[in-house]
Amino acid sequence: MSLKKLICHCGEVDLEIKESEGALNKFLRCNCTLCKKKGYIMTFAPITDVKIVKGEDKLKLYQYHTKVAEHYFCSECGIYTHHKMRSRPDTFGLNVGCIDDIDQFKLENVGLNDGQNHPMDQKK
C-alpha cells in the first residue's frame, strides 16, 4: 500500500496518508461559508489511515456554527491541512493542494458539495 504526503506550505505540518481502498478517490469543492472563502479542493481518507508525522503542536483548531467539525490549519503558514467531518466523524477531509502527488489543476472529476444546505442542518 502506498503512502501519500500532505504537507503545509512552511513544512511544519506533515501528514502521511495510507492509500487504502476508499481513500483519496473523491474530489469536491464545497460551497459552505468556510470553504467558499478558502477555495480549496478536498479529498477524503479514513481517520485511521492518516498519521500526523510532525507538527501536531503547530496545528490550530478552528470551529464554528455547531462546532462539531474540526478544521485544522498550520499556525505558522496559515494553510488549512485537514478537517474532521461533521457528517462522517470517522473521515478526514484533506486539502488536495497540500498533496504534492496530486495535481489539483488536472483533476477532471471535481464535484460540488452543497455545504450551504448541510444534511445535518435540515429539519426532519
Residues of this chain that bind Zn ion (CB under 5 A)? 8, 10, 12, 74, 76-77
The one-letter amino acid at 36: K
H/E stretch holding 38 reads helix 35-38
H/E stretch holding 7 reads strand 3-7
Cβ neighbours, 10 Å, residue 66 = 10
Beta carbon nearer to Zn ion, 56 or 121 = 56
Beta carbon nearer to Zn ion, 28 or 73 = 73
3-state secondary structure of 12: coil
Work out how close the CB of 81 gets to Zn ion at its nearest, in angstroms, rounded to a whole number: 8
| Half-sphere exposure (Cβ direction) of 47: Cα atoms closer than 13 Å | 9
Work out how close the CB of 104 gets to Zn ion at its nearest, in angstroms, rounded to a whole number: 18
Work out how close the CB of 97 gets to Zn ion at its nearest, in angstroms, rounded to a whole number: 13
Work out how close the CB of 23 gets to Zn ion at its nearest, in angstroms, rounded to a whole number: 23
